[in-house]
Amino acid sequence: MPSKDKLNICMIGYRFMGRAHSNAYLKVDKFWDVDIHPVMHTVVGRNAADLQAFAKRWGWQKASTDWRESVTDPEIDLVDVGTPNNQHREMTIAALEAGKHVLCEKPLAATLADARAMRDAARKARGVKAWVGYSYRRVPAIALAYQIVRERDLGRLYHIRAFYLQGWGASPDVPLVWRFDKDAAGSGSHGDLGAHIIDMARFITGDEFVEVSGAISETFIKERMIPTATAGAGIASGAKASGKKGKVGVDDTVLFLARMKSGAVASFESTRFATGDENKHGLELNYEKGSIYFNFEDLNNLYFFDATLPRKMQGWTKIQASVPGEHPYAEAFWPTAHPLGYEHTFVNQTYDMLQELAGKEPVVPLADFNDAYETQRVLEAAVVAAKNRAAVKMREIK
């Protein structure tokens, strides 16, 4: 049986997210003092040769092409699911029923029905944790925004303006990777990118959606070349085209407007066709007594406007969220003004998971399956609103 101070991990999927998660498991107890240490026990994938090479490179003890056998292995404590979205339901429920903790990549599932089944399975499971990897919560500047909203009296929230802009999909030469396949992904930019900014808005403000007031969805490129072999997704895929075309089944962009429980209004935009933007995502929050702005392409900085200052002193303040002992997560890494990167979000996420498993508080809350299901409901409401060209009340989305 696994020891109490070790966490034996089975990770399913070994491409983009597999690398990010592997790096986090390798580094978390180098940066942080933890009571429980992750053990890279088994990595699972379909291509045995590639899988063996990955396991050797990243330090996994075992490699397997049988996920069912791996997730029910008595030695495994946590199952990390980083597969295409349509595989999340079967794998996570199998792991939960086997008594394993689960970390699932976002969005929770490809469909609302699958997400609901996963949420219900997590509720029934006893003695285990089930999280969804909204890793951007672990950017120190975003965690700082979360703290500011709770520690300062900002007054009434008026407006949320959220965006996630990438440009990699704009080229017709990009092959038909699984992110363009509705059966595998469930949706396109909406579920892939929109899920992050919906979660970010809910997480920072603590506010909830009551209505998607209108939405528009568009697929600009209707067909793409079929890849020559299985590859990753999107900007990290490396897929090559075969010369044969297949139909794109998902959105390339979704824009929607919403109303929040607090009375605030909100706008959300997600696209893979923002030519010139690489990974530009964030939000602006306009409160009665101040505003907050974040852009991931400037990920170490949070911008704050204090409307309570005398008018002649008002202006946007750039806060470099890197001061150890002052800013979230900064204590574990480098001296002030020595920036962090994308990979550190996963290190911080792993630390917070280990804290929860040890019965301690994470730096900021993790998204459990209940939480992630609420984000999935908003995704669904926007799809329905775009299809019907009508407002959708959140109470209608079960």
Rounded to an integer, the average pLDDT of 251-280 is 97
The DSSP element (H or E) to which 319 belongs, if any, is strand 316-320
Per-residue pLDDT, 235: 52
Q: HSE on the CB side for 323, CA within 13 Å? A: 7
Q: 229 vs 246, which has greater pLDDT?
A: 246
Angle, in degrees to the nearest 10, between helices 195-205 and 140-151: 40
User: Beta strand 265-271 with 157-165: parallel, antiparallel or unpaired?
Assistant: parallel
Rounded to an integer, the average pLDDT of 134-150 is 98
Per-residue pLDDT, 1: 45
Convert the pLDDT of each residue in 8-18 to its tens digit. Answer: 999 999 999 99
Rounded to an integer, the average pLDDT of 47-57 is 96
pTM (2 d.p.): 0.94
What secondary structure letter does DSSP report for 255? E
**b/e code 209-238 from CB counts within 10 Å (16+ = b):** bebbbbbebeeebeebbebeeebbbbbebe
Residue 174 token pair: 């990009």
User: Beta strand 130-133 with 37-44: parallel, antiparallel or unpaired?
Assistant: unpaired
Convert the pLDDT of each residue in 65-84 to its tens digit. Answer: 999 999 999 999 999 999 99
- Rounded to an integer, what distance in angstroms lies between the CA atom of residue 152 and that of residue 168? 39
> Does residue 229 register a pLDDT over 70?
no
Judging by beta carbons within 10 Å of its beta carbon (0-12, 13-18, 19+), is residue 70 exposed, middle or buried?
A: buried
Q: Considering only 222-226, 232-236, 375-379, which range has the smallest mean pLDDT?
A: 232-236
Quickly name the fold that domain 139-336+367-388 has.
Answer: Dihydrodipicolinate Reductase; domain 2 (3.30.360)
Size of the chain, expressed as the number of residues it contains: 398
DSSP string, 1-31: ---TTEEEEEEE--SHHHHHHHHHHHHHHHH
Distance of CA 66 to the CA centre of its chain: 26
Per-residue pLDDT, 239: 63
Q: What is the CATH number of domain 6-136?
A: 3.40.50.720
Q: HSE on the CB side for 92, CA within 13 Å? A: 37
Convert the pLDDT of each residue in 162-194 to its tens digit. Answer: 999 999 999 888 999 989 998 888 889 999 999
**Cis geometry, peptide bond prior to residue 107 (ω within 30 degrees of 0):** yes
6-136 shares its CATH topology with 139-336+367-388: no
Taking the domains of the chain in order of start, what are their residue ranges?
6-136, 139-336+367-388
Q: HSE on the CB side for 198, CA within 13 Å? A: 32
